[in-house]
A and B are shown apart, each in its own frame.
Chain A
């Protein structure tokens, strides 16, 4: 690369631009301006993609729901079965496409 020279302004800008990782740390990420009821993890996110929309997310999310619970990936939306709700998905075998209907909702338990 050191023998190659930027041929025009655009190429110069590419050469001098900070790396993507550095830029992400420095800049405000658009996704951080979401309503409070959303979390802001976007990879793609549970609620929205990095641009605040819903395109390109896991479709449908039910297809990968147990994958989220098992590894505690979206603890604010899906009860994690690692630590807090170990038997959350015990009513689902995962073999049936309708299994998601037997998942529990998690509210604080009453005593």
Chain B
């Protein structure tokens, strides 16, 4: 074993399972950021192999494409891995930042494919163009291509590059039976022209975004989020202070619907003026990754807070800039039952001090009995829903300020559905990380037409308590997956079993398989419980983890 590899192994050993993605924001490494700038690094570290073009003087390949920070990260590490590039500690981070800012994507270019960066790996890409379906998307997501912009020459070089990097691609892709010709022939004939036309280097959106002054994100942000796991809906505050070079340090304090709370700090880098990549240390010892995106004017930031570093578990989060004006952001719970009493938690920012029961309007038929202002962000209200209150979504207001999210009134929960309905997990814990899966049961009302599954159905929010069950998805004779794949806990979290061959199974098959996840919920007063199910695929472990799958 040579020394380089030993060093890499040492490094990997330290980092394995710990740091993934853009997590090199350590304060101790800030010192050298002043030593070498992006252009200087391109000149000294890259231009040896990527000489400037005679026309325009841009560096070959590098300056003829635009992509996300994650994609630049993947490229730079490939340069180190297979092309003998040499970078000092910390220089990759400077290069990724510089290239993402200078050769990045506009907010509108990233938006349709955010799911890949946010690690929403249950997303099903339904509209993959036929030109790239069999040739590209057989191995990786469509988002991985669609989050790139290249010049015609650079798109044209991709087939050769791919064939050189993955020499067996022709055999491998042929085995899918999806292609009617050689991969190389088809990719040149169909995929490259399609990509050249659809994702060109120059775009109006990018020109506009480049010309725009970029927002400063320092200040107070009010947070509304949703944890599909135990915590449920949450609200909180994030206070950001600038630390230079688009870096921010943040303090966060969050309250969850189940009564728990979370405090911590975050270290954020903003790429391309709107892409927030943060690493948060919360509750003494837990590490979260924040993959957020700001809107164009920098007033709302939204994205996914990854609870594990591979992103299998995460929470939805939206941050609203606290501008000093009163805003009414969220109400919890999000639905009220006709003829019942409820305690509502209203969350916003800069709510007036003198609030009384009359200040809150929840629409006809819902009476606010008492009101308690907890702080400038939170108000608790005791309400009674009249027996004749109109069923459906309605607008809540605090002294005329409209709520950003609707409040629903319903008679009964008519049916429930699981989220996600198609899910996957992987065994782990011995050699590879366990890939968990969180399920959530969501209640719906049939709406005015009284029929299930139509457009007017009202989403009522999470229901509980729910009884969770795993059931066999019978695919073969003596199918026994359910005995081996893993278990669900009371909060709908599926924990897979260990990776590796299992001597107790036929042919020592690993703990993989496909099962139904069932949820049973019995609303108050209902005679029978109602059920919903999701298909869970527990797939073999994998050994390769990339920033964009």
Seen from chain A, the residues whose Cβ lies within 8 Å of a Cβ on chain B are: 21-22, 24-25, 29, 32-43, 46-48, 51-57, 59-63, 71-73, 75-80, 82-85, 87-88, 90, 97, 100-101, 103-111
Using A32-B128, A35-B424, A108-B74 as known contacts, list a sample of 20 further A-B pairs with CB atoms less than 8 Å apart, ordered by residue number in A: A24-B177, A25-B180, A29-B178, A36-B120, A40-B138, A41-B138, A41-B175, A52-B514, A53-B537, A54-B513, A60-B500, A63-B501, A72-B167, A77-B543, A83-B82, A83-B165, A84-B81, A106-B543, A108-B73, A111-B91
Closest A residue to B476 by beta carbon equals: A55
On chain A, the residues within 8 Å of B547 by CB distance are 108
Closest B residue to A35 by beta carbon equals: B122
Closest B residue to A83 by beta carbon equals: B165
On chain A, the residues within 8 Å of B507 by CB distance are 59-60
Given known pairs A61-B510, A73-B172, A78-B542, the reply for A101 and B430 (CB within 8 Å) is yes
CA distance A87 to B8 in the complex (A): 11
Taking a contact as CB atoms closer than 8 A, the residue among A33, A59, A82, A108 that contacts B508 in the complex is A59
On chain B, the residues within 8 Å of A110 by CB distance are 11, 15, 19, 24, 92
On chain B, the residues within 8 Å of A62 by CB distance are 500-501, 510
CA distance A23 to B475 in the complex (A): 24
**Contact A78 B543, beta carbon cutoff 8 Å:** yes
A-B contact pairs, 26 of them (CB 8 A): A35-B121, A35-B124, A36-B116, A36-B122, A37-B121, A46-B540, A47-B537, A54-B512, A54-B513, A54-B538, A60-B508, A61-B541, A63-B508, A71-B171, A72-B168, A78-B542, A79-B543, A88-B543, A101-B430, A103-B431, A103-B543, A105-B432, A108-B21, A109-B81, A111-B77, A111-B89
B440 within 8 A of partner (CB):
no
Taking a contact as CB atoms closer than 8 A, the residue among A35, A41, A46 that contacts B176 in the complex is A41
On chain B, the residues within 8 Å of A106 by CB distance are 543-545
CB distance from B145 to the nearest CB of A (A): 13
On chain B, the residues within 8 Å of A53 by CB distance are 473, 475, 514, 537
Seen from chain B, the residues whose Cβ lies within 8 Å of a Cβ on chain A are: 1, 5, 8-9, 11-12, 15-17, 19-21, 24, 73-74, 77-78, 80-82, 87-93, 115-116, 120-126, 128, 133, 137-141, 143, 164-169, 171-173, 175-180, 422-424, 430-433, 473, 475-476, 479, 481, 500-502, 506-510, 512-514, 535, 537-547, 549
**Contact A108 B546, beta carbon cutoff 8 Å:** yes
Taking a contact as CB atoms closer than 8 A, the residue among B115, B179, B549 that contacts A76 in the complex is B549
CA distance A33 to B431 in the complex (A): 29
Closest B residue to A88 by beta carbon equals: B543
On chain A, the residues within 8 Å of B512 by CB distance are 54, 57
**Contact B9 A104, beta carbon cutoff 8 Å:** yes
Taking a contact as CB atoms closer than 8 A, the residue among B11, B476, B510 that contacts A60 in the complex is B510
**Contact A36 B542, beta carbon cutoff 8 Å:** no
